[in-house]
Structure 1
Amino acid sequence: MADDGWDTPIGTLLGREERMAKYGGAKYGGIEPSSRTPNVFVYSDPARGEAFGYNFDGWNKDRTVFLYTGEGRIGDQQMRDGNRAILEHQAQGRALRVFIAEGIIPGTAQKNHLYIGKFEIEKGLPYFLEEAPDEKGELRTVFVFRLRPLDEAFRREVDQSSSGDVKPKTEAVLVPLEDHASPTFESSGTKATTAVRRESELCARYNSYTGRPFRRWKITPAGEIRSLFTDMYDQQANELYEAKGTTTRDAVRRGIGQLLDYRRHIVPKPALTLLLPHRPSDDLIDLLGDVGISCVYEEPGLGFSRIAPPLGDHR
């Protein structure tokens, strides 16, 4: 792959206008293919992601791969335009030139950019999908590209990704109930926060009522960054609980989906129980029983009652 006169050393500050004059490519996009030189210019600005509640960009732990969030500000990102230019850069005979936002160009209001090196898409796992809020605060799917440096690259500790890279195998470990360090993105502000608080308070009441030494599972699926945390797990009974702050049909459906999702990663497979603030409708009890999930609900002044599913193997 010819460099076509590339003469900018790594570690150089290079503004967009100067880069345009020397190597082509448009001015404002985060991913800018050049029609004059065989390059795709990739601009990382971690502060921008942090402003919206996420930041995947940066080096992985051992600094062998640079993670880069694809373009698309509203809704699910699509594999087109700049994102496709990154994915297909080798087939198009282009190099990926990565820049990181670094201060302001003196005498202007324009951001400066640090050139950190020439990269290529990682062949084994070129990207993975993550969830992140868009500019409207709505949760959506984004591409996180995995870029491997060619030859020398400019590596700094300050440019390390705050999220880290994906794991090749699923990991599931037991942690204390209070260990819930996973980043979360709320798409509905106060309502989501209220729901989480109700669930947490319900778990605390049930924990106090039973006196059981509950723990929780921390599950990190293969190919994903973010860990999943279950609500409560009774290790002695091998029983997994998911709590919901309301007994609406949507809440029960979500709880069923979460329990079935978690159970796939736990060995041996646990019994499943949905913890609710009051008794759900008979139809929802039938739904839970049909998929082999117990229902534990709170009865004010009396404690908690349990409805087990009908006998049979629902797993």
Structure 2
Amino acid sequence: MTAWLLTCNPDVFDLDSFRRDGGQLDNWSVARYRSELAEGDGFVLWLTGPRGGLIARGRITGVPFLSDDAHNADYWQQDPGRRWYVPLTVNDWLDVPVPRGQFIADQRFTDTTTLRTLFAGNPHRLTEGQWDAFDEAFTKVSAAPDERTTWHLEPGHTIRRVELHDRYGGSRQGGICKSARTDNVLVFTDPKTGHQHGYFDEWAEDGSFHYTGDGQEGPQTFETLGNRSIRDHVQLGLRLRLFEGSRGVVRYVGEFAVDPALPYSYAQAPETGGGPLRRVIRFHLVPVGSTEQPSTVPVGCGYRPADETVQPAPAQLGTPDAGLTERNLQTHRRLQNDLATAAAARGLDVLSPRATDPDFDLAWRSSGHRLTVCEVKSLREANETRQLRTGVGQLLDYHDRLRERAAEVRAVLWVEYEPSEARWIELCQRVGITLAWPGKEDDALT
């Protein structure tokens, strides 16, 4: 088999940034042996410089072609001008280059100038033995797990964002960062910076975290790498890692996955800087395993009023109970906002859940540092019992998950009207939950 070595000078082509940004290498500049390069030839890619070495391997997929346009132009340090390129495909990338020192003592390289003339133009011809040596290096690296890229963060851990990308790859900017070096998609949620771009991430009534897709202007589409990476992460074998914050120190929330039943929906949100409304993608993310946070992680952030014009999800439209679903959602959010207004009027610090919190509807803190967590339920005669059961169960879960993160936790179930069965009031009292409804604000907000 004919095999070649291609070199990359990082002072000429920024390969590291190209990979961090999720670039797919499909050609490379060549200056000689053009008549000998052929489809099916093997190649290895060598990164030059003091921190360089063997970095990738693959196959050539066609004959060289001449082009006046720079391929992957954003990553050339200067315009390369008219060049010959050979089409190729990369089969394997290494997270860290295998250095030159590992090969120069190998007998298969001592009788040639291959590793001593890397400054010469591409490509460099390889002997069969040298190809085998590079193949052995790939086998050795793949057989030994690299501790530097093994996931080491637990929910609640903090890390400087620059250190996170140094270890796991991915772009250092933006909210959705697919790594070219590891099987991770790093996803960042931050209301402090996101709201100005129309990114309103939040927990939804069904327990999924609704995360706004990539794209600050115009309708969002799946043409962007970030949006495709989230939508297709299961098929691509990628893990979604959600972080709270976008700059400086960020906090790991946990691993998430798109909801297989309803992976995303569409909504309206303003463009960057309060521009016109446009269509945005809302990914429905569900936790994978535990996202429990340590006791040092604060609970809640400033209250975000719920949108009372909410519409049923696309999967629910056209169903016989679509109107009832819309009514329940709107009633739920009106009840929630009204209670938040009443709590704020009493001087309470009203909160919405962070991504690091369980998905309660709202909460508030009193002057004594007591945290009250509240679940809101709309009621109809046909669903009253089911709604009350669900609310009690949710509050018991929230209380258990938050009791290590607050000095005192109180639970309130706020419902649309007084339940038809008085036993629910006594039942809630027995398990430590205050059951209240409009007109009983004193009971809920004491």
TM-score category (smaller protein): 0.3 to 0.5
**Largest Rg, 1 or 2:** 2
TM-score normalised by the chain length of structure 1: 0.47
Q: Which has the higher contact order (CA 8 A, sep 6+)?
A: 1
**TM-score normalised by L of structure 2:** 0.34
Whichever structure has more helix as a proportion of its residues is 2
